[in-house]
Chain A
């Protein structure tokens, strides 16, 4: 790939982030702020000596333990961020190609030396690779502020802070798990990403209604024509159990990415994304 193509793709990614900074930067920042305010409010309700005792207990708990072993504990704190990421992703995917046609900016972008394939791929890349980075950065900022507050509390109450340092390392290690969980989830749910993009490129109005309605209709027709329910089974088997795509230990990372189900999901998702690329030629 030549340098011009890389610069082109970088510009497309930058455009996506700038146009949707509320979803990728604003939303997780608000979640982080809410968690910090809630934690601070709870801490204000507790007596300072009890707070210091709790802090020394946590310090002893984490002292000397491997950060990689303790990292999964911090995955719980990431749940609100992951939920926000999923909701933001659905909003982004269903609106992105639809909005281009609605405000007619599609004509501008098609007049530029950028293909439909590059544009659609930039949107997929934004959701799979780029958006989780901003979420992880927000979580990191939240951990940093939390650790500074804990350190101030520890110093003012003569608590041994070595364990708090270990806890911070475990929190940092958990960021890697959170990022790869978001990445694997995106790959695992690539058919859903393709489905939303296809209807975002197709619908003249209400793309979310089209995406939901056609899904139900297609399931009905499959049952009617083939007498099977593979679509419903497929969706249920992929969506029912989050353990299939959330990563709680570093050892299972490669296994989660390179398995038959994930790779088949990527193939099926690619069919729908190809449909979305061709659909972009209809600009009306």
Chain B
């Protein structure tokens, strides 16, 4: 067995990578590992890497609401309300 593993550099590399992946997959399956995402917390928008589609949809709906609401000043004033509305919609969907 040792002779086969150490036959040449390629067999050694493959065996090392198989052990590495095997340990990772086994540990991931046992512990139910999930990706630990980077949540960018800020007062302007909600961003979660796991829910990128949701972020895009909420942003698009916010932009369309803004364009409907008229002038630039109105957009600035209504931004907070719209954000709250979109949050409510999201939570309602969920």
Q: Hey, what's the 0/1 contact readout for B17-36 against A, CB within 8 Å counting as 1?
A: 10111011101110001111
When A and B form their complex, what is the total count of cross-chain residue pairs whose Cβ atoms lie within 8 Å? 70
Main secondary structure on A side of the interface with B:
helix
State in angstroms the CA–CA spacing of A268 and B16 once bound together.
11
Flag whether A258 is at the interface (Cβ < 8 A): no
State in angstroms the CA–CA spacing of A234 and B26 once bound together.
12
Pairwise interchain contact B25-A275, C-beta atoms closer than 8 A = no
Pairwise interchain contact A233-B12, C-beta atoms closer than 8 A = no
Contact of B9 among A232, A240, A279 (CB under 8 A): A279
Pairwise interchain contact A218-B38, C-beta atoms closer than 8 A = no
Contact of A268 among B8, B13, B20, B33 (CB under 8 A): B20
State in angstroms the CA–CA spacing of A202 and B11 once bound together.
11
Q: How far does the Cβ of A145 sit from chain B's closest Cβ, in whole Å?
A: 37
Stretch at the interface among A23-31, A106-114, A223-231: A223-231
Residues from chain A with Cβ under 8 Å of B38 in the complex: 240-241
Flag whether A267 is at the interface (Cβ < 8 A): yes
Q: How many residues of A contact B (CB 8 A)?
A: 28
Pairwise interchain contact B27-A228, C-beta atoms closer than 8 A = no
Residues from chain B with Cβ under 8 Å of A226 in the complex: 25
Flag whether B1 is at the interface (Cβ < 8 A): no
Residues from chain A with Cβ under 8 Å of B28 in the complex: 228, 230, 233-234
With A240-B38, A275-B12: A264-B33 Cβ-Cβ less than 8 Å: no
Pairwise interchain contact A233-B16, C-beta atoms closer than 8 A = no
Main secondary structure on B side of the interface with A:
helix
Residues from chain A with Cβ under 8 Å of B8 in the complex: 282
Q: CB within 8 Å of A: which of B27-86? A: 27-29, 33-38, 49
Pairwise interchain contact B33-A233, C-beta atoms closer than 8 A = yes
State in angstroms the CA–CA spacing of A218 and B25 once bound together.
12
B8 nearest CB neighbor, chain A only: A282
Residues from chain A with Cβ under 8 Å of B29 in the complex: 228, 230
Pairwise interchain contact A240-B12, C-beta atoms closer than 8 A = no
Pairwise interchain contact A202-B9, C-beta atoms closer than 8 A = yes
Pairwise interchain contact A234-B23, C-beta atoms closer than 8 A = no
Pairwise interchain contact A278-B12, C-beta atoms closer than 8 A = yes
Q: How far does the Cβ of A283 sit from chain B's closest Cβ, in whole Å?
A: 10
A195 nearest CB neighbor, chain B only: B20
Flag whether A198 is at the interface (Cβ < 8 A): yes
Residues from chain B with Cβ under 8 Å of A221 in the complex: 21
Given A233-B34, A272-B16, 10 further pairs, Cβ under 8 A: A198-B16, A202-B9, A221-B21, A222-B25, A233-B28, A240-B37, A241-B36, A275-B20, A279-B12, A282-B9
